[in-house]
Amino acid sequence: MEATMAIKKSLVIWTFILTGLATFFEVVPVLADQSPVGHFSMGPHRENMRKMQAFKASLIRHDSVSLAPSPSSAPQPPEGTGSARVYHVTSYGGDPTGKTDSTVELLRALSAALQGPSEGSLMEGITNLGGVQVDLDGGNYLISQPLHLPAAGVGNLLIHGGTLRASDDFPMDGYMIDLSGSSLANKDQENNGTSMEGAQLSSSSSYNYEYITLKNLLLDSNYRGGGILVVNSLRTSIDNCYIAHFTTTGIEVRSGHETYIRNSFLGQHITAGGDPGERNFSGTAINLMGNDNALTDVIIFSAAIGVMISGQANTLSGVHCYNKATGFGGTGIYLKLPGLTQTRIINSYLDYTGIVAEDPVQLLISNSFFLGDAYIVLKSINGVVNGVNIVDNMFSGSGKGLGIVQLDQSNGPFKNIDQVVVDRNNVRGMGIKATVAKGAVQGNGSSWTVDFNRVLLFPNLIRHVQYSLVSSINGAFPNHVLRNVSENRVVVEADVSVPAHVFVTVDQGVTD
């Protein structure tokens, strides 16, 4: 009796694994873009830069002598010239009340610190200052010119403990703290280094600075220019800094590597969200134009673009962007490295503002929270998206159905798609998008269609299908076949009409 029932109820289950189907669809080999991992090539430009910097260093070292406190005007020598080497800005006549301009006094303190005793070198050509400190003594100093570190080729220096405020005549293209090697750097870069040809060059590191730490500083750019500029330096730390009122960029990092920005707060306007002027916010809080940098536990509360990245192998972790909302034209994180992205964004919080990635190649976005209809845009430049994992994030929106990941194909469609995984994200009040999907359909007939367009990220792309046909019809074994997957619709047909469930799993991201 039981056996009869079992036969009557025997299920007809067919499973097809259709890897072969992929061959019917265009599978374009990925561009073999194998430039040296994580670093720009060492070309003639780099060499010119090196020579240029060496030359500038020699100029600036000379300048800095005149900046050092002269016996007549100098205040008392820095505390502990014998052993401890802490250079107090107030000892150099800096006005900690911020009433009078302290640019010269700050530069004197910096200059003295850089000329103090040194202990060998770090990288070749980088003098080890042994941990010398320039202490702002908890003061609030007005400056009318960028604080260019007055010599290149030094390292192991800490500048800390106070507030800097730009004056009303601070140069609009300047940065309050400028680690560019010299005040000539920007102009020379515009000249592509040609002005340095034939200059007598001394030996120097190919980097400007190494292991400079900027800590516990509040920088108020007074809506004139930027906060901190780091050029071609190694192992720079920007720690517990608060950077506000920039018009250009809060922190800009150009070439070099390993600038670590952590526990810091950046915003053009000092606000705590929901600002009525938000539509007007401009500027970029952090611009990483170099490799191998990290942002860790950084809050960006006001700017048109929170973080702009155009160098490889940067990591963002614990970054909370609530700058200008996407709806007002803002962007949380903009990855402008089409073709070689190499960026990891993890454990971050995109708050009403999203992520844009141009032609992403190797990008991980994971364990992050997207609030207020914030979403991720993959923007086609040359139609390449390769090695992208957008997994294990949370998305929360207002029920408008905005897709959690969207394609901007205004420059042309993505046509070179490989190893893209958008999956395992949880979504409330937004439209889920994925590259892997499951569906089922029930029907009595000879054809079953599962439409995946609502979920699948890429249009008309199914590379891999697996399906099961489950029918309870009496002892029958219908022939059935996967008939069609075009337009993201999976069609299964049988040779006879049967009541059946069809279960389908599809994948857009895999090639084999």
Give the shortest CB-487-to-ligand NAG separation in angstroms.
4
Residues touching ligand NAG, count (CB under 6 A): 14
Contacts of 85 (CB under 8 A, 6+ apart): 78, 113, 116, 117, 130, 131, 132, 133
Name which of 23 and 66 has its Cβ closer to ligand NAG. Answer: 23
Selected binder of ligand NAG within 167, 409, 449, 484 (CB under 6 A): 484
453 binds ligand NAG (CB under 6 A): no
Give, for 482, the enclosing helix (H) or strand (E).
Answer: strand 480-484
Which phi and psi angles does 375 have, rounded to 5°? -145, 175
DSSP-derived secondary structure letter, 298: E
The pair of three-digit structure tokens given for residue 41, joined into one six-digit string: 């090539």
Give the shortest CB-460-to-ligand NAG separation in angstroms.
9
Name which of 81 and 442 has its Cβ closer to ligand NAG. Answer: 442
Contact between 359 and 420 (Cβ < 8 Å): no
Contact between 305 and 285 (Cβ < 8 Å): yes
DSSP-derived secondary structure letter, 121: B
Spatial separation of the C-alpha atoms in residues 237 and 225, rounded to whole Å: 21
The pair of three-digit structure tokens given for residue 90, joined into one six-digit string: 């107030």
444 binds ligand NAG (CB under 6 A): yes
Name which of 81 and 444 has its Cβ closer to ligand NAG. Answer: 444
Give the shortest CB-368-to-ligand NAG separation in angstroms.
30
Give the shortest CB-192-to-ligand NAG separation in angstroms.
4
Selected binder of ligand NAG within 192, 202, 411, 426 (CB under 6 A): 192
Contact between 174 and 164 (Cβ < 8 Å): no
Give the shortest CB-191-to-ligand NAG separation in angstroms.
5
Sign of CA dihedral 211, 215, 217, 221: positive
Question: In this chain, which stretch among 10-18, 175-183, 412-420, 482-490 interacts with ligand NAG, using CB under 6 A?
Answer: 482-490
98: left (phi over 0), alpha (psi -120 to 50) or beta: left
Restricted to residues 95-124, the positions that interact with ligand NAG (CB under 6 A) are: none
Selected binder of ligand NAG within 270, 476, 486, 496 (CB under 6 A): 486
Name which of 73 and 444 has its Cβ closer to ligand NAG. Answer: 444
Spatial separation of the C-alpha atoms in residues 418 and 302, rounded to whole Å: 36
Partners of residue 298 on adjacent β-strands: 264, 319
**Side chain identity, residue 481:** V
Give the shortest CB-189-to-ligand NAG separation in angstroms.
9
442 binds ligand NAG (CB under 6 A): no
Selected binder of ligand NAG within 20, 82, 274, 276 (CB under 6 A): 276
Selected binder of ligand NAG within 35, 100, 191, 411 (CB under 6 A): 191
Question: In this chain, which stretch among 79-87, 368-376, 451-459, 481-489 interacts with ligand NAG, using CB under 6 A?
Answer: 481-489
Selected binder of ligand NAG within 117, 131, 277, 459 (CB under 6 A): 277
Spatial separation of the C-alpha atoms in residues 331 and 356, rounded to whole Å: 7
449 binds ligand NAG (CB under 6 A): no
The pair of three-digit structure tokens given for residue 481, joined into one six-digit string: 């076949």
Q: Which string of b and e fits 474-498 if b means at least 16 CB within 10 Å?
A: eeeebebebeebeebebbbbbeeeb
Residue 405, CB-side half-sphere exposure with 13 Å CA sphere = 25
Give the shortest CB-468-to-ligand NAG separation in angstroms.
19
Based on DSSP, count helices (H) and strands (E) in the chain, helices before strands.
4, 32
- 76 in helix, strand or coil? coil
Name which of 77 and 499 has its Cβ closer to ligand NAG. Answer: 499
Restricted to residues 380-439, the positions that interact with ligand NAG (CB under 6 A) are: none
Spatial separation of the C-alpha atoms in residues 40 and 35, rounded to whole Å: 8
Of 112, 130, 110, 111, nearest in space to 120 by CA? 130
Q: Spell out, one character per residue from 490 to 509, where the chain touches ligand NAG: x when CB under 6 A holds, - when not.
A: -------x-x----------
280 binds ligand NAG (CB under 6 A): yes
Name which of 117 and 445 has its Cβ closer to ligand NAG. Answer: 445
Give the shortest CB-375-to-ligand NAG separation in angstroms.
26
Residue 458, CB-side half-sphere exposure with 13 Å CA sphere = 29
Contact between 496 and 473 (Cβ < 8 Å): no
Question: In this chain, which stretch among 54-62, 187-195, 283-291, 332-340 interacts with ligand NAG, using CB under 6 A?
Answer: 187-195
Name which of 87 and 322 has its Cβ closer to ligand NAG. Answer: 322
Name which of 196 and 430 has its Cβ closer to ligand NAG. Answer: 196
Spatial separation of the C-alpha atoms in residues 228 and 253, rounded to whole Å: 8
Name which of 96 and 478 has its Cβ closer to ligand NAG. Answer: 478
Q: How far is CA 45 from CA 178, 366, 388, in A?
A: 22, 36, 32
User: What radius of gyration, in Å, describes the C-alpha atoms of the chain?
Assistant: 30
Give the shortest CB-254-to-ligand NAG separation in angstroms.
15
Give the shortest CB-43-to-ligand NAG separation in angstroms.
12
Name which of 48 and 163 has its Cβ closer to ligand NAG. Answer: 48
Selected binder of ligand NAG within 35, 487, 495, 496 (CB under 6 A): 487
Question: In this chain, which stretch among 188-196, 220-228, 353-361, 462-470 interacts with ligand NAG, using CB under 6 A?
Answer: 188-196
Residues that bind ligand NAG (CB under 6 A): 191-192, 194, 276-277, 280, 444, 483-484, 486-487, 489, 497, 499
